[in-house]
Amino acid sequence: MQQTVGVIGLGLMGEVLAGRLIGAGFGVVGMDIDPAKNERLVARGGKAVATAAEVAGACGVIALAVFSTDQVEAVVERDVLPAAKAGTVVLCTSTCDPDRIAALGQRLAGGKLKFLETPVSGTSEQVRTGDGVGLIGGDPAVAAEVAAVLDALFPRRFHIGKTGDGGRAKLAVNLILGLNRLALAEGLIFAERLGLDAKAFLAVAKGAASYSQVMDTKGEKMLARDFAPEGRVRQTLKDVHMMLDQGEKLGQTLPMLQVHCDVLEACVRAGEAERDNSIIVEEIRRRRR
């Protein structure tokens, strides 16, 4: 058994990160506000505790996998900071507002916490199989200190730059990824209505110049109408709103992203917020004259 790592937030991604750590031989102490998620961690060989402060008191490295920037700030400064030992490393795996994360890093600088931004590109299933890509922002010396933990979580990773740059890269990657997903959904429905067999067409699209990795991760889900979540609509929409906010700050219009936002918001209105983001294909199917 190697060192014990904390995981705060055991949703889709947090549960996968805990599983990768356990599989690599680390002890895991975790918590979530949902008791069922804590029970699943225990069933996998981890230890569940009731509060984030208890995680901080027990672990020298802590991975945050909470939903929003607000939650990251609150957990780090309200719960982790008072309870942690000096030198504790906090890995922020959540997709957050990069400017606020940079400011959080500045507030923590020189104190007892070492903060490293580590969002990951990929679905929860890709991360589970080691195909997620870590986007690291922060002090390279801190990244080197926790290299064994990062190896377990993100066998493939890039050190992007300073704190905040990991999140900036994640938003730009997710912008492209989301538009690829939307293009795939629209192309599949278009092919169907042209009278083509959608499954056969997907194979053609994968073999043609149109190919993108999204066809591998989301194509069959769209065809099977299997929307068990690997990346929820509400999470994707949260990220899209951050992208649009950054575009507003930069003075850049993002017209295709605005269309994606409109489609996602329509899915939320249809009661699909907790479904996989591939369910945008259903909204494309609903849009008929």
* Predicted model pTM: 0.92
Determine the Cα–Cα distance for residues 55 and 59; give it in Å rounded to an integer.
6
Segment 138-186, tens digit of pLDDT: 999 999 999 999 999 999 999 999 999 999 999 999 999 999 999 999 9
Nearest alpha-carbon partner for 277 in 285, 289, 265, 287: 265
Determine the Cα–Cα distance for residues 230 and 227; give it in Å rounded to an integer.
8
- Dihedral over Cα of 5, 11, 15, 17: its sign: negative
Nearest alpha-carbon partner for 164 in 244, 92, 76, 212: 92
* Structural domains in the chain plus CATH codes: 4-162 (3.40.50.720), 168-286 (1.10.1040.10)
Residue 1: the pLDDT is 45
What is the average pLDDT value for the chain, to the nearest integer? 96
Residue 289: the pLDDT is 81
Nearest alpha-carbon partner for 71 in 153, 136, 9: 9
In the block, residue with structure tokens 């991975």: 63
Confidence of residue 42 (pLDDT cuts 50, 70, 90): very high
